[in-house]
């Protein structure tokens, strides 16, 4: 049985200002088919626009509101919304709220840095 406590997931900040907590991924557990992390963005923060050639990705907003862009299509999203990002789709999320935006991020197959391509 693999159980990871949120309190044990050490946060790190990426170059775009996102704070990530790897919950279940290749860096911390023996996952085979998918990965899960929490990502947080400060007010006005946004991820670097990117795509994955192999992984399908999903976001589930836990807190806040944002503007989601996938392949040039934009949509306002908020806590409680789930977003599918198909393999190969360019995407970016921007925190449009006044507080921190938090989301659960899953990838199948598991996320790897080698499968992340930037503009």
Max Cα-Cα span within the chain: 41
pLDDT digits (tens, 9 = 90+) for 20-74: 999 999 989 999 999 999 999 999 999 999 999 999 999 999 999 999 999 999 9
State pTM to two decimals.
0.94
Contacts 24+ apart (CB under 8 A), 3-11: 4/28, 4/29, 6/38, 9/38
Distance CA 4, CA 53 (A): 28
Distance CA 24, CA 80 (A): 21
Which pLDDT band holds residue 119 (cuts at 50, 70, 90)?
confident
What tokens appear for 10 in the block?
């050490």
């Amino acid at each position: 049985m693999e159980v990871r406590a949120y309190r044990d997931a050490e946060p790190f900040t990426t170059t775009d200002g996102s704070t990530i907590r790897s919950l279940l991924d290749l860096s911390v557990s023996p996952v085979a088919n998918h990965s899960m992390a929490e990502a947080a963005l400060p007010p006005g923060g946004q991820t670097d626009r990117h795509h994955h050639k192999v992984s399908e990705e999903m976001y589930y907003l836990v807190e806040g509101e944002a503007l989601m862009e996938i392949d040039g299509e934009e949509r306002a999203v908020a806590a409680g919304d789930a977003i599918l990002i198909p393999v190969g789709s360019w995407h970016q999320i921007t925190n449009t709220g006044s507080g921190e935006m938090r989301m659960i991020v899953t990838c199948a197959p598991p996320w790897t840095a080698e499968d992340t391509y930037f503009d």
